[in-house]
Amino acid sequence: MTGLSICNLSYSYGTRRALDDVSFDVGAGQFAALLGPNGAGKSTLFSLLTRLFAAPDGRIEIDGHDLARAPRAALARIGVVFQQPTLDLDLSVMRNLTYFAALHGLSGRAARSRIEAALERLGMAERAHERVRDLNGGHRRRTEIARCLIHSPSVLLLDEPTVGLDAASRKAITDHVHDLSRDIGLTVLWATHLTDEIKDDDRLLILHRGRLLQNGFAGDLRGPLPLQEHFLMRTAEQR
Ligand SMILES: Nc1ncnc2c1ncn2[C@@H]1O[C@H](COP(=O)(O)OP(=O)(O)OP(=O)(O)O)[C@@H](O)[C@H]1O
């Protein structure tokens, strides 16, 4: 299938089971929130999706490509924002993005027009020539999101991308990524432990202690309860 498909995925660090038989699909153009408390297994799942670790059990398909059998084709289809920032602070926004474009074999006018389009989409066009060190945390995160669009991926993976940001920056970034999914049909997997980043018509995947507890639309799953309350109840039941 296009989008993202995960089937019977498990992973252990020695004897510690971090993911236990996790399966879900995110359809093309869907925004899926992967919600879990600390230690749920979100970062482990991202490490498997980006092939930092190889998955010994289970299957991952990205935009129709099996990650184990066709890793180059599968990885070329994803854009990733890791939990830890990875920009060069002493280069400008434009230089950071130009470097990334070159890693993907893009240069000259083609690179420039994709970079400009990505910065425009994230509301960062007027900051293109500022040094990253001089940007606030929210603008740095937007730069990273713009960067992961340059090679025209179809699936975006974001691991707690709003950590450490103030409320206004968190909302701006959450809204930008929802817009990307809606406007250009990107499939998004957004890991978070913050329920206010999730909208009722988002796909919600609740991960707890390595197991997928719930999978459905957020509004349907929470029913009449605020999502925060629903989430705390579901995870408390499993202690
Ligand atoms: N390198 C490692 N060695 C041993 N255990 C690990 C390692 N990395 C993670 N774990 C354990 O695996 C489990 C899942 O951790 P993971 O970091 O994937 O969760 P998370 O949902 O991303 O949490 P957080 O929100 O705190 O980043 C936890 O019990 C964690 O202690």
Q: Which of 22, 38, 205, 207 to mutate to test the pocket of ligand 1 (most atoms within 8 A of CB)?
A: 38
pLDDT given at position 239: 62
CA distance 89 to 17: 36
Q: How do the domains of the chain map onto residue ranges? A: 88-152
Q: How far is the CA of 43 from the centre of ligand 1 (A)?
A: 7
214, HSE (Cβ side, Cα atoms, 13 Å) = 22
pTM (two decimals) = 0.93
pLDDT given at position 24: 97
What is the dihedral sign for C-alpha 147, 149, 151, 153? Answer: positive
Ligand 1 neighbours, Cβ below 6 Å, are 13, 16, 18, 36, 38-44, 193
**Per-residue pLDDT reduced to its tens digit, 62-107:** 999 999 999 999 999 999 999 888 999 999 999 999 999 999 999 8
Arithmetic mean of pLDDT over the chain = 94
Q: How far is the CA of 22 from the centre of ligand 1 (A)?
A: 15
- Specify the higher pLDDT residue, 115 or 164: 115
Q: Which tokens sit at 169?
A: 């920056």
Phi, psi (degrees; rounded to nearest 5) at 13: -100, 100
pLDDT at 213 over 90: yes
CA distance 81 to 95: 18
Q: How far is the CA of 83 from the centre of ligand 1 (A)?
A: 13
Cβ-based neighbours of 45, under 8 Å, separated by 6 or more: 6, 9, 19, 22, 34, 191, 207
Q: How far is the CA of 209 from the centre of ligand 1 (A)?
A: 10
pLDDT given at position 57: 85
**Per-residue pLDDT reduced to its tens digit, 131-161:** 999 999 999 999 999 999 999 999 999 999 9
Q: What is the 3-state secondary structure (H, E, C) of the chain?
A: CCCEEEEEEEEEECCEEEEEEEEEEECCCCEEEEECCCCCCHHHHHHHHCCCCCCCEEEEEECCEECCCCHHHHHHCEEEECCCCCCCCCCEHHHHHHHHHHHCCCCHHHHHHHHHHHHHHCCCHHHCCCEHHHCCHHHHHHHHHHHCCCCCCCEEEEECCCCCCCHHHHHHHHHHHHHHHHHHCCEEEEEECCHHHCCCCCEEEEEECCEEEEEEEHHHHHCCCCHHHHHHHHHHHCC
CA distance 107 to 101: 7
**Per-residue pLDDT reduced to its tens digit, 18-56:** 999 999 999 999 999 999 998 999 999 999 999 998 878
Q: What is the ipTM of this complex?
A: 0.95
